[in-house]
Amino acid sequence: MELRFSACVLLVLCVTWGVNGGNVLVWYTEGSHWINMKPLLEKLVDGGHRVTVLVPSASLFMNSSEPSRFHYERVESSLSIEVMEKFMEEFLHFSIYEMEHMGYVQMYLRFMELFRINLKFALGNLDGVVKSEEVMMKLKRGNFDVLLADPIMPGSELVADILGIPLVYSVRFTMAHHFERYCGQVPAPPSFVPGAMSKLTDRMDFWERVWNFIFYAVQDVVLNHIYWKTVDSYYSYFLSGTGKPTSACELMGKADIWLIRTYWDFDFPRPLLPNFKYVGGIHCKPAKPLPKDIEEFVQSSGDAGIVIFTLGSFIRNITTEKGNMIASALAQIPQKVLWKYSGQAPETLGPNTKIFNWIPQNDLLGHPKTRAFVTHGGSNGIYEAIYHGVPMVGIPMFADQPHNLIHMKAKGVAVMLNLNSLTAEDFRDAINTVINDKSYKENAMRLSSIHHDKPLSPLDEGVFWIEFAIRNNGAKHLRVQAHELTWYQYHCLDVFAFLLALILTIVFIFIKACSFCLRKCCGRKTKTKSE
């Protein structure tokens, strides 16, 4: 009886699996990229799919030993965790403290140096997959239906190609949209599409357009020189002799779907392609009730409401001087302040400010008493603020944070400050401005409405297209023919050259014919005259 029951359960499971269950392979990634990947994977598991995540042994953010609904596949990296940690610290130090005091050229050279090291490390992780016979055998036997990857880590396109399975990217952006433009073939006229990280908006004057144009060009040259040269030569080892393209960019262009983790609530509208799906705010969700002690503190703010203040998880301490300046500014506002901070409490801390080691950020942002969000400008926090319609004061630190906050400033929901030159008065005034100038709240509510007023939630849309790729073995019908053209064919330069040559030939023949006729006539006349 029990045996029959078990068989029945197995049968039901098998049938369910047959209907819903796909076999999803997930490429490793790091930091906020991993945070953004997780909700998709959770939803895929909810939908009955099996999710296998590759995790390099030297990963800083992915923890393959924590209990999870995903199946983790450990990959032996040729690097150690210690080396990775040291590099991360070096990168943060450069981004937050050194950059400010460097000349542009010096800064760029140092950045390129760090970029090279990062790429070397990334290929060290990749060694653990493609150079390991054991891992590759497991992947080949895994019968995966789709590979889901953030292209920030190279290698996924190579493995998808070797396994012969569809590839779905999840991308926030790449520098100057380089991958999206070059490999995804998405059009991005520099006249109104500001390069990612250029610190420009879509409303550019002449000089900004010149800068944007140069920014695109410089990124393209640098990435060609550093990134593609290295990655192409790495890939060619595996693909030479197969007759397949050994250009990594060409392989990336075979991706079936690009899930772009932004939307027109955050980004500026721009041209897209049928296989580019904008799913910004994939991790956003409604607020849950607050823990009792936090709720009590929040309620004690009365009509003035609260301000949430966090500089992200990378900044654990600031100088005593900065700490005091910040605390004294916060002490001057009528709101209660919840400050997420792991350092020692500053002396000037006001009675309205409470320091927390950890805060339930999303639940606080969704609380009706929340008046403003003071943030370092990480994209996940900003998206939560958009979701709940909260105005922001931004103090960007590094990476994409200035880029993100410039978007929010342009959309009228944030005031931007600089931590290095910040004064208590400026800080206090900025918070008062976004709370008291009604336009900030109105704009925040408008963005929130844009975010919510969509046929599908970002998460549902992302999952839909991954499942589509599983159901249909990719999404070839969404792929533009531009992928098959060279750059001069794409821009019709060969057609231009031909038409120009044709016109010049016709003009030349016409002139020659005219001059011939003229000579004939004049010659005859001269002859007649001389007769």
**Interacting residues with its own copies (CB under 8 A):** 186-187, 189-192, 202-203, 206, 209-210, 213-214, 264-265, 268-275, 278, 449-450, 453, 455-456, 460-461, 464, 468, 471-472, 477-482, 484-485, 489-492, 494-495, 498-499
Count other C-beta atoms under 10 Å from residue 20's C-beta: 14
CB of 378 to its own copies, least distance (A): 23
Q: Which is nearer to its own copies, 130 or 196 (CB)?
A: 196
Q: Do the beta carbons of residue 382 and residue 408 sit within 8 Å?
A: yes
β-pair type (23-26, 353-356): unpaired
Are the C-beta atoms of 338 and 356 separated by less than 8 Å?
Answer: yes
In whole angstroms, how close is the CB of 111 to its own copies at the nearest point? 24
Write down the least CB distance from residue 460 to its own copies, Å: 7
Minimum Å distance from CB 486 to its own copies?
10
Q: Tell me how far CA of residue 14 lies from CA of 20, 21, 51, in angstroms.
A: 10, 9, 16
Cβ 209 to its own copies, closest distance in Å? Answer: 5
Task: Annotate 30-75 with three-state secondary structure.
Answer: CHHHHHHHHHHHHHHHHCCCEEEEEEECCCCCCCCCCCCCCEEEEE
As a whole number of angstroms, the distance between CA 412 and CA 342 comes to: 31
Q: Minimum Å distance from CB 159 to its own copies?
A: 26
Rounded Cα distance between 330 and 350, Å, is: 7
Residues 6+ apart with CB under 8 A from 293: none
Nearest Cα to Cα of residue 418 among 435, 393, 445:
393
Angle at 212 between CA 168 and CA 478, to 5 degrees: 25
> Considering beta carbons, is residue 271 or 302 the nearer one to its own copies?
271
When the beta carbons of 186 and 298 are compared against its own copies, the nearer one is 186
Distance in Å, CB of 371 to its own copies, minimum: 24
Q: Which is nearer to its own copies, 269 or 523 (CB)?
A: 269
- The residue among 354 and 479 lying less far from its own copies, judged by its C-beta, is 479
Residue (96 or 480) nearer to its own copies, CB:
480
* Nearest 10 degrees: Cα torsion 141, 145, 148, 151: 70
Nearer to its own copies, 471 or 525 (CB): 471
Angle at 361 between CA 357 and CA 362, to 5 degrees: 160
Q: Nearest approach, Cβ of 137 to its own copies (angstroms)?
A: 33
Q: Is the Cβ–Cβ distance between 35 and 15 less than 8 Å?
A: no
What Cα–Cα distance (Å) separates residue 184 from each residue in 129, 156, 176? 24, 15, 13
Of 363 and 461, the one with the shorter C-beta distance to its own copies is: 461
Minimum Å distance from CB 256 to its own copies? Answer: 12
Cβ proximity to its own copies: between 87 and 264 the closer is 264
